Amino acid sequence: MDMKKAVGIDLAGSERRRSGFCILDEGLNASTRILHTDDELVDATLMAGPQVVCIDAPLCLPKGRPSLEFRGPPHFRACDLELKRMKIKFFPITLGPMRMLTARGMKMKKVLENRGLAVIESYPGGAQDILRIPRKKEGLERLKVALMDVGISGDIAKREITHDELDAITLALVGLMYLRGDHLSIGDPDEGLMILPARR
- Give the mean model confidence (pLDDT) for residues 4-25: 96
Domain count, the chain: 1
- Give long-range contacts, CB 8 A cutoff, 24+ apart: 126-132: 126/83, 126/86, 126/88, 126/90, 126/194, 126/196, 127/170, 127/171, 127/173, 127/174, 127/196, 127/197, 128/170, 129/88, 130/184, 130/196, 130/197, 130/198, 130/199, 130/200, 131/197, 131/200, 132/200
Question: Please, what is the end-to-end C-alpha distance for the chain in angstroms?
Answer: 31
Helices (H), 51-199: 78-85, 96-114, 124-131, 140-150, 155-158, 163-180
Instruction: State residue 200's pLDDT score.
Output: 60
The answer on pLDDT for 79 being more than 70 is: yes
Residue type present at position 153: S
More confident residue, 137 or 53: 53
Instruction: State residue 64's pLDDT score.
Output: 80
What are the Cα distances from residue 180, in Å, to 49, 119, 168, 174, 176?
A: 17, 15, 19, 10, 6
Work out the percent of the chain whose per-residue pLDDT is above 70. Answer: 98
- Give the mean model confidence (pLDDT) for residues 5-23: 97
> b/e map of 15-28 (b: 16 or more CB within 10 Å)?
eeebbbbbbbbeeb
The answer on pLDDT for 48 being more than 80 is: yes
Instruction: State residue 90's pLDDT score.
Output: 80
The answer on pLDDT for 49 being more than 80 is: yes
- Give the mean model confidence (pLDDT) for residues 166-186: 96
Cβ(74)–Cβ(191) below 8 Å: no
The answer on pLDDT for 1 being more than 70 is: no
pLDDT digits (tens, 9 = 90+) for 103-156: 999 999 999 999 999 999 999 999 999 999 999 888 899 999 999 999 999 999
Cα(24)–Cα(154) distance, rounded to whole angstroms?
A: 9
Helix, strand, or coil (residue 97): helix
Q: Kindly write down the DSSP assignment for every residue of 40-75, as one continuous string.
A: HHHHHHHHH--SEEEESS--SPPTT---SS--SS--
pLDDT averaged over every residue in the chain: 93
121 sits in which H/E element: strand 119-121
Cα(179)–Cα(173) distance, rounded to whole angstroms?
A: 10
Q: Which CATH number does the domain housing residue 106 bear?
A: 3.30.420.10
State which residues form the domain around 144. Answer: 5-197
